[in-house]
Amino acid sequence: AQSVTQLDSHVSVSEGTPVLLRCNYSSSYSPSLFWYVQHPNKGLQLLLKYTSAATLVKGINGFEAEFKKSETSFHLTKPSAHMSDAAEYFCVVSLSYNTDKLIFGTGTRLQVFP
C-alpha cells in the first residue's frame, strides 16, 4: 500500500526567504514521487518528479526536492520565495512502474508575504 503525508497544511514565508514544504511517503514498492502546484481555479502543473534516478531532483521555477529513502521523505525546497509562488502544492506518490494510480497528499497552501 502507498500513502503520502504532507506535514503542514499552511506555510507562510516572506518574499526572498527560503521555502520548505514537507512530504513523507510510505510505499511497499519502489515509488515514483511528484510535486505538483495548483494556482486558484486551475489544474495541476508538474514541478518535478523522482523516478529512481538522481536523488536530488531539480524542477521548474527554481524548486528542487531530495528523495531520502532512509527518512521516507521528499521535501520540496526553494532558496528564495517569489510572490508568484503563492499556491497550493501537492506531494504525490505512485508505483515506479505504474504512474496511473496517483496517491495525493492533502496539500500545503503556501503564502508569500511582501
Partner 1 sequence: GAVVSQHPSRVICKSGTSVKIECRSLDFQATTMFWYRQFPKQSLMLMATSNEGSKATYEQGVEKDKFLINHASLTLSTLTVTSAHPEDSSFYICSARDNQENQPQHFGDGTRLSIL
Binding residues vs partner 1 (CB under 8 A):
32, 34, 36, 41-46, 49, 51, 90, 96-97, 99-102, 104-107
Q: Which residues are bridge partners to 108 per DSSP? A: 89
In the complex, least distance from residue 81 CB atom to partner 1, rounded to whole angstroms? 22
For partner 1, the closer of residues 16 and 29 by Cβ is 29
Q: Which grid cell is 109?
A: 497552501
For partner 1, the closer of residues 12 and 14 by Cβ is 12
Q: For residues 54 and 64, is the Cβ–Cβ distance under 8 A?
A: no
In the complex, least distance from residue 44 CB atom to partner 1, rounded to whole angstroms? 4
Task: Determine the number of helices (DSSP H) and then strands (DSSP E) in the chain.
Answer: 0, 12
Q: For residues 37 and 89, is the Cβ–Cβ distance under 8 A?
A: yes
For partner 1, the closer of residues 22 and 49 by Cβ is 49
